[in-house]
Every structure is written in structure tokens, then in C-alpha cells.
Chain A
């Protein structure tokens, strides 16, 4: 042994030199950024700038256009702010509920809150209407509770319905990561609940609160489907206006101008976020298993109230889907006034029949397999790209602070414009099925990074140092210190990526449709033609999508890795 080292002394120093260069902080940083930056450059910045350069010209600078931009922008702001506040009103108590208390049906309820995130808006709207609308099964609801809500309040509640899961996941994770000793010692020093929250909990939660607020606000700011569906012709956000100016009343220069405005505002929000978050450097030792059954009457009342409101708000609209997919009301239609309801499994059976011998028929198992396949690829891709970026951003150098806000831009880019950019950049190769997970990853990546980043930043450096002083290898440090803290954030990030992909959030506007149709596409095909069977099959497919997501989320959350403790 000794001999060998002596004999190969020269190569050894060379290797050491090489290793040192490899381990130099700069080289390491570049390595971290390489994949995410290459990805964003080729699939986001390049196509988007191509189309903006092509479409933009100064002819868009007219007074009428500026007025349009101003009024659209102010409405976009107004509804996004209101929606975000309302989402937090429901989201924060729910986050506390899930992170602090144990109760029956907890994991199912938490999984359910993530389901709306990926259901097609039109499906939820019509199934809900079929149940509680004027002629619905529970029509007494519509007369006594929901008295003709205005379309604006419908938009707001839809945003809350879709985005509460973001708050629950990001803030809830942070809450369960907090060291309970801090709160306990404050209490033993005589602080009441309010003071504990104000002085201890809230300051510690700030990074996650901000991250959640930013994501929810961005989603409401660029809201598209909800506004189009519920707003009629009266309301339009920047995203909707861009869509109209690209596809319906073609005016590409105006569309480009609108896109630039939207991008600039996205950038401003992200920069504000980065600024604020960098002022917060609190790190705490992580503890696990904070959740316990409610004890005092006050706690029980709290759990009961939040549980009930979540149940009504999420469970009832969602359960209307499976009920509707098993309900027949066809036979008596067109004969008597009162609708007769009956049980049927016809819609599910019909899913397996290609009645018209259509070329575009998709067997349900196939659609589910395609959806799951794309979703798994998206989870893999977005974690592989998001992890290194979040790691670098957790303790950013000056240059990286500049890169940080750019990560959020894909959320603020109009899907229609980016879609056009894809077409002029990739041409015929766009039909490749690989573009589907790529487009989904583009939407999921900002989530993944923003979910991992606060968790990574919260890992106390002294724990790592202590571990390595005690002789742990870098991998062992990662395994024993970083990983247990990260596994929860990673699961959350994976769930986001998974639901984003299953619901095809906005990506439908990006892509052409190659040979592997997914569940949302199958639903869309059924809903594009009249007939009870089509409607029933759409509901059945949507129910499948819902079951699949709920199951997948439950499984992801059950993947409790050793050391990660109670999730």
C-alpha cells in the first residue's frame, strides 16, 4: 500500500489538484446551476424572447391600448389581492389544523384539498350545478344558501378553492418543522397564545408565509380558466386579454405588449419576495411529531370548526362528481317535469366501448396510464432540476440573488404566447411526446424550488458542522442532517409537480397533441359533444382522475422514509 502511494506520487498530486478544483465553491456552484439554467434557457427564455421579438412593435403604443392595459391591470391586481387574502383566511387555520393536530381522516382530508388544483374547471362547475343548481338533486341548497352569487364572488371562491392547498402545504410544513421548545419556553415565561404567535411563531414562519403568498398571488394574478369561465364578458385579467388578442381578435403587437407587462410585474413580485426573504435568517433545530389529538375545549372547537369548513368547502363540490357519474336522469327527461334520479354504472361501462370505431378513442386505462407516466416523469424532472437550484438559492451568492427572481418567471408568462414561441422554436419536433413532461415541468419548477428553498435555508449550519466535526462524511452529513428535514419538503414538492402534471395546468395551450392522450384530454373530448352519455362519461373520467390523484397523494405522503418521522 505504502509503496503504491510512493510510486504514483505524481498522479496522486494531480488527482488532488483535480479534486480541489472540483470541490472549489465556484465549480460546485456552476455544476448546481448547469441543468436548471440550461433547461430554462432552452424551453423558456429562448422561445419566449423569439416570439416577443417577432410580435412586438411600436404600433402597439396607442392611447386606447394603454387604457386597456391600465384597466385590465388594475382589475387583475384587485382580484388577485382579494383572492390571496381570502385564501389565507381559510389556508392558515387549515395549515395549523394539519400540522398541530391529529384527528380521524386527516390524510384523506389533506389529500382532498389538493384535488381541485388539477380538476378541469368546467367539470367542477357543471357537476356542482347538476347537484345544487335549480334542478339539481339538492336544489334546496340553491334556494336557501346560495342566493344567486355574483360572478365576481364566484371567481374569488374558485380561486380559494383551487389555491388553499398551496398555503396548507407550504405553511403547514414550516409549522410542523418548528422547534416546539421555543413556544414552550415562551409559555413557561408567561406569554399567552397571542404573544407566542406574535413574537415566536409568526417571525419564524415568515419565509414560508411569504413563499406561499407569492405563489398564491402569482396564480391569481395570471388566472385564466376561472376568469374565462366565471367572469363572462365583464371581467378579464392580463392573461385572458393576451389569450383573446392572440387567438380571437388577433393583434399580436398588443398581445406582446400585454405579455411584457405581465412579465415585468411577475419579476417585480419575485424581486420583492427575494428582498424580504433574504432579511430573514432564522434557523431552528427541527423536531418531529408535533401533531397530537386536541385536548382542551378550545382546541376541540378549533379542530371541529376548521374541519367542518374544509369539509363543506372541498368535499361537497368534489363528491358531486362521483355521485353525478353514477346517477341516471335520462329516461324521464323530455317526458315529465320532475327529474327522476336512479343509480347506474353505464357511464363507466361505456368508457370501455369504442362505439363509433373512432380513431381518437382512448381506453380509460390507457389514458390513466399515460397521465401517470407523464406525471412521474414530471416529478422526476422537476425534482432533478429544482433540487440543485433550491440548494444554491438557500445560501445565495450575490450573482445568485440576481438569478433568484428569474426562477419565478415561467409562472408569469402567458401560456398562449409561450406556446407560439414553442412552435416557432421547435417546429415539427414539437409533436414528440417528450414535450409534454417538459411543459409540465416548466409550470411545476417554480413550485418545487419555492417549496424546497425555505426548508433548505432552515437547516442550521451548526448541525452540519457538528456532524462533520464528529467525523461524518459529506454524504453522511447530508443523510443524517439535511435529508430528514428535506424529506417532508421534497414530498410536498413532488405532490405539487404531480398534481400540476395530472391537471395539465395551462400546458394544453402550449402543446400540440401527439399519440398519448391523457385523462384531461379524454374529458375534453367527451364534453365537446351533446348527449347524456357524453356528459356521464366526462363525469366518470373526472372521477377517475380525482381518485387517481387522491390515491397518488396518499401514497406519496405515506412514503415516510426512515428518520423522517411523522409527516
Chain B
């Protein structure tokens, strides 16, 4: 009896191995930062169309992700890397971790975003880092909103600004770059005057926004914070009670914002080049680009992508963001941060 069962099992195993199964989906791994988010059905569409399974590897902030990609250059952890921005792009390009890929979708993207002319890093989204202010505080105190960097150092804005440390925070670095673009070599003197005027420096965006900023739910002491031009839209979208007006607004005056552009690239030595290219095309396509704003509160680079209502009504775009070339940032970024740290001690 036992023997019969054994043979029967063997036979079923044999049968199971012979029956034609559908081709197993190929897996594609996307390495990205912790803030990455996207709609479930968007990814499902890609998976169904390409018989693929998409795996996301979220490993820390953008800096950590680039580090890991550089360290594992020869045996990469993923096929595609998304989330390098223009302040850190040089590190990825110098380490030569990306394949060249001139995606056909680039035709739908404005030239101002195509920073890497060799098409190793392709632009996906952008967002402006600007000062957000507590609208209520300024109207109540009849205080005009500062429209230049110089205004911020004036006595009427004493103790009202909180900024992030550029050594630890990405919006903090972006804001430092904006001041550097505006003041040139005099930027450190400006920062000293900001410090004298009671500007508070904290480690990261979460602390600045939720602990220090007065118009957030944290009810902090500072009425101006370095955040994103899309933050007022997020305040409305994520309001606990429906709001008709955002409690915050951004100062988008000329020179006062810095534009962060995020890129995607295909990792060298990856396993699945074909699928990786398809995924990059997909990220630049209308479907993905239109889903991005509400998930990550960034702007699409694809000209055809329509913005959600809450963005149209409440998010602002910088008039003329600080102009600082990518190569200038690449060669000076670290020394600017070091000098800033010394100056603010």
C-alpha cells in the first residue's frame, strides 16, 4: 500500500512538471528613496502589459540610495534607480553607474529639465523648494510678506524663520544653493545676518515643518519654513476638515526658490535591460506622470500630463527659480556645505 502511494506521488510530480505553465513573469527591481510613492493600479497596468512583476527597494533617503548603488556597481541590487536629484546627480554620473538610454518619451519633455546631455539620467519630476508662510499670521499682524532674501534679515522678521541644515536635509541644501546663486561669494555673510536675526536651524524637513512651523499641525513658533511650493496644496488635500483655502502659501518671488529635478536611470550590469527600458518609458508616460503629483507632491515633466485640481488651485510654481548650473553645484557642493557649517557655529 505504501509503495503504491509512493509511486502515485512520483507520478503526480512527473505530471506536474510536464504540464505547460504560462511563462513566469519577469521581475524588475526599482531602487528608490523612502519618499517614493505611486498608485497601485498604475503599477498593475505596467505589470499586466509587460508580464512583469515590479519590486521596489526603498533604502533610506536619496543620498543613501546613491551610495548603495555606487558600492554595488558591479553586482547591482536593482535594474533601475529612481530619485537622484540635480544636487546629487554629479555623484551618480561621476561614478558612472547608469547606462545611456535615449528614451523616445524624451520628446514630450521640455529641454530645461534635460540636464544630462548624454541621457544616462532622464528627468521624471520637479519641485520648487521655497519658503512657506503662515498666511494667518501675516494678515493678522499686517506684516507684508518678504519678497527678497534681503527682506528676511530685516528686524520685522526676527525669530520668524526656520530652515533645515543643508548638511543633513535635501530641501535645506536646495535653499542654501538658492542663496548662493543670489549672493555669490557673499552668501556666508548673508547667512550670518540671518542667524543674527534669529533664524532657527533644524536637522530635517519633518522637524522644521511639524515641530517649528506655526501653520502646520505642530503649532510651532516660526511663521516661515523652508518647504516646497506644492506644500500648500498638500495642506488642503490632507486637511482634517475640508478647507476652501490653504492656511499656508509659498514665496515664489524671483530668485527665492530652487528647482529640484529628480532623475531615473538604468543601472549598469543590470539583469534585465529590455524591461528596464520599458519601465523608464512608462515612468515618463502620461499615466505615470499624472499619478505622481498626488502621491509625491511633485510636478510632472511630461508636457501632456494634466495636473490634479488641488494642484491647479493651491500649488504654486516659482517665477524664476535660482539659476545655478549643475556643473557648478557638482564641483562646489561639499565645500559650500562645509563653509556654511563653520559659519553657522
Contacts and interface: CB of A to CB of B under 8 A. Distances in A.
Given A125-B207, A530-B227, A247 B61 contact: yes
Contacts of B91: 250
Contacts of A428: 29, 75, 77
Q: Which of under 10, 10 to 19, 20 to 34, or 35 or more describes the interface residues of A? A: 35 or more
A328 B240 contact: yes
Given A125-B211, A346-B240, A534-B238, A130 B218 contact: yes
Contact of A248 (B294, B295, B337): B337
A125 B40 CA distance: 33
Nearest to A421: B71
A233 B345 contact: yes
A53 interface: no
A246 B66 CA distance: 11
B323 interface: no
B238 A528 contact: no
B315 to A, nearest CB: 11
- The residue among A244, A246, A529 with the most chain B CB atoms within 10 A of its own CB is A529
- The residue among A228, A331, A361, A530 with the most chain B CB atoms within 10 A of its own CB is A530
B215 interface: yes
A512 to B, nearest CB: 4
B152 interface: no
Contact of B140 (A244, A337, A424, A525): A337
A329 interface: yes
B218 A424 contact: no
A229 B203 contact: yes
B256 interface: no
Interface residues of B, number: 75
Interface stretch (B18-26, B112-120, B241-249): B241-249
A263 interface: no
A509 B165 CA distance: 20
A134 B234 CA distance: 24
Contact of A536 (B35, B217, B236, B337): B217
A129 B58 CA distance: 30
B71 A423 contact: yes
A122 interface: yes
B67 A250 contact: yes
Nearest to A517: B58
Nearest to A244: B167
Interface of B: 29, 34-43, 55-61, 63-64, 67-68, 71-72, 75, 77, 91, 135-136, 140, 165, 167-168, 201-207, 209-211, 214-221, 227, 231, 234-241, 243, 245-248, 294-295, 297, 334, 337-338, 341, 344-345
Interface of A: 122, 125-126, 129-130, 133-136, 228-229, 231-234, 244, 246-250, 328-331, 333-337, 339, 344, 346-347, 354, 356-361, 419-420, 423-424, 427-428, 430-431, 508-509, 511-513, 524-525, 527-536
Give the top 8 A-B pairs by smallest Cβ distance, nearest first: A531-B238, A334-B247, A535-B217, A512-B59, A135-B219, A330-B240, A533-B238, A530-B234
